[in-house]
Amino acid sequence: MAEKFYLDDQVVYPRSPDLIAAEFAKIARAKIETIPAAQPVPPHRGGNASEPDREQAVRLLMEYRYLCGVPWEGLALDATYNAHAEAAVSILAAIRKLDHNPANPGWPDDEYRFARAGTSHGNLAMGGGSNVGAIRMFMGDSDAGNIDRVGHRRWCLSPAMGKLGLAYEKGWGAMWCFDGSRKEKPDYDFIAYPARGLFPNTHFAANLAWHISLNPAKYRPPEEKKVKVVVRPAAVTRSPAALQTGDELKLNYFHIDTGGYAIPNAIIFRPEGISTKPGGGYQVEITGLESKAGEAATIKYLVEFFTPKK
């Protein structure tokens, strides 16, 4: 397959399976840098069960970011962020619940404040089994308590993120992701998960919510009463080039969140009857949008799932 495939002068498949495989191989070889602390890290409770797992979690995050068109090159761990995440998982283990603003469980004030900085500056996980598992949980983000904003996912896909902190210990995970250190930020129209074109079914599940974040520099905040999302089964033929679509699928969830989770304007939806088996294709059409200038706007893109080669 060619690197890109066009239909009616529109890019349907931005990347071929071979290109995705090559980029995944590049990510697998990438050295994960840990940026030293600018100041001595104070003594803190907690730790991280496995350094290789921590680094592999960064590589998995790189894969998600690559697939969604978000900068991944140079993504690094930060020693201070890691320490805050370590302290965060320790306080979560002490209170036995997820809480971004936990009360002091009886620790010395300096240790408590260091841990609380970790819980309040990113994503928290209970379960998952590892840092890698926590990243998958953050990207899933479709349970009843998170689907209305998919905030963990949106932070994972923040275009401004250049470094992060991770820790996983005793069933609790933390990710310091409130970071805006990336110097060069992309000029994008929208960021979607699953993303336009061929998307590996190793990185998505049929029961997950879909979402699209609009660039606030190009679109006005979307209004739920005006926006309509239509998802249809779709199949592309290459010779002759044509697109065939089926009946509109029912959405069992639809909501718009404009909160400040990395990118504020998120349209969240979950179509029924989705299959991530190879060849499962779906056309998404979103109407009722307005450009920054106030003009009517429509977004349309195709997602097709495939199984990548190992």
User: Which string of DSSP letters, residue by residue, matches 122-165?
Assistant: EEEEE-SSSHHHHHHHHHH--STTTTTT-HHHHHHT-TT--EEE
* H or E segment to which residue 292 belongs: none
Tell me the angle at which helices 109-119 and 79-95 cross, rounded to the nearest 10 degrees: 100
Alpha-carbon distance values, 235 to 84, 241, 264, 300, 302 (Å): 47, 11, 32, 15, 9
What value, to the nearest 5°, has the Cα angle with vertex 120 and ends 116 and 123? 120
Residue 187 is which amino acid?
Answer: D
Residue 20 lies in a domain: no
H or E segment to which residue 104 belongs: none
Q: Is 2 part of a structural domain of the chain? A: no
Answer yes or no: is 125 within a domain: yes
Positive or negative torsion for Cα 201, 135, 141, 255: negative
Structure tokens at 180: 């805006």
Q: Are residues 132 and 201 in the same domain?
A: no
Q: What is the CATH number of the domain that holds 245?
A: 2.60.40.1220
The reply to whether the predicted model has a pTM over 0.85 is yes
Q: Decide if 274 is inside a domain.
A: yes
Would you write out the chain's pLDDT as a tens digit for each of its 310 residues? 456 776 766 778 899 999 999 999 999 999 999 999 999 999 999 999 999 999 999 999 999 999 999 999 999 999 999 999 999 999 999 999 999 999 999 999 999 999 999 999 999 999 999 999 999 999 999 999 999 999 999 999 999 999 999 999 999 999 999 999 999 888 999 999 999 999 999 999 999 999 999 999 999 999 999 999 999 999 887 767 778 899 999 999 999 999 999 999 999 999 999 999 998 899 999 999 999 999 999 999 999 999 998 7
Residue with tokens 């819980």: 119
36: domain range? 31-176
Number of domains in the chain: 2
Q: Tokens 């199949």 belong to which residue?
A: 235
